[in-house]
Chain A
């Protein structure tokens, strides 16, 4: 079946350091969405990328969608303690785009 992998599973950084999480799908995705879940909270939508090679920025966050639409990344510059949480990528496979398949998530912890 279609899989969406995320690496790393877990990252612990010093406040001010950069952080990147990578998302890789076994099949082509129609689009990719990123969500953030704070500890004890629920997933909250961050952004969507649709076009091949697309790059979007939200303040310190930079999102990329690969040329083949099979991978994506989220980069956070100069992490802050408010960035703590689990970051999920999710996308509908082109072949059967009837559901969002979520990656396993990357847990980010920030030491102040």
Chain B
């Protein structure tokens, strides 16, 4: 049973297009995240949701819009894709909420490798 799943695994698209990545977790966790990992492997948080409520919104261009229809799903929509958006995007989830959430391990999905040409 996959704990955190993402689709698609690979996404190749042209500049200017709009695309979405979907994430689902079956762990019953309250908090979900989107991370971006660049070509140098640097992992940076983009968004965090707790029970469908946006908690963290890092300095991400507003072309990126997360949406959480329920606490098991967190999707990421990207408008007007740019070359610099090419990266691996990881969804993650963890138990807990509030300041204590970071005392819980995060479970990462397999990642979506986005290539913008």
B105–A98 contact, CB under 8 A? no
Instruction: Name B's interface SS.
Output: mixed
**Closest CB of chain B to A23's CB: distance in Å?**
13
Chain A neighbourhood of B103, CB < 8 A: 30-31, 48, 50
Closest to B42 in A: A104
**Closest CB of chain A to B38's CB: distance in Å?**
10
Closest to A44 in B: B108
Given contacts A42-B90, A42-B111, contact A102 B42 (CB under 8 A): yes
B40–A45 contact, CB under 8 A? no
Interface flag for B15 (CB, 8 Å) = no
A86–B41 contact, CB under 8 A? yes
Number of A-B contacts defined by CB within 8 Å: 55
**Closest CB of chain A to B114's CB: distance in Å?**
15
Q: Give the bracket for the number of chain A residues in contact with chain B.
A: 20 to 34
**Closest CB of chain A to B58's CB: distance in Å?**
8
Taking A91-B102, A98-B102, A104-B42 as given, write out 16 further A-B residue pairs in contact, using a Cβ cutoff of 8 Å, ordered by the A residue number: A31-B102, A31-B103, A33-B105, A37-B41, A42-B110, A42-B111, A43-B90, A44-B108, A45-B106, A97-B102, A98-B56, A99-B45, A99-B102, A100-B45, A102-B43, A102-B44
Chain A interfacial positions (CB closer than 8 Å to B): 30-31, 33, 35, 37, 41-45, 48, 50, 86, 88, 90-92, 97-100, 102, 104-105, 107
Could you give 29 example pairs across A and B, Cβ below 8 Å? A30-B102, A30-B103, A31-B102, A31-B103, A41-B110, A42-B108, A42-B110, A42-B111, A43-B43, A43-B90, A43-B106, A43-B108, A45-B105, A45-B107, A48-B105, A86-B41, A91-B102, A92-B102, A97-B99, A97-B102, A98-B99, A99-B45, A99-B48, A99-B102, A100-B45, A100-B106, A105-B41, A105-B42, A107-B41
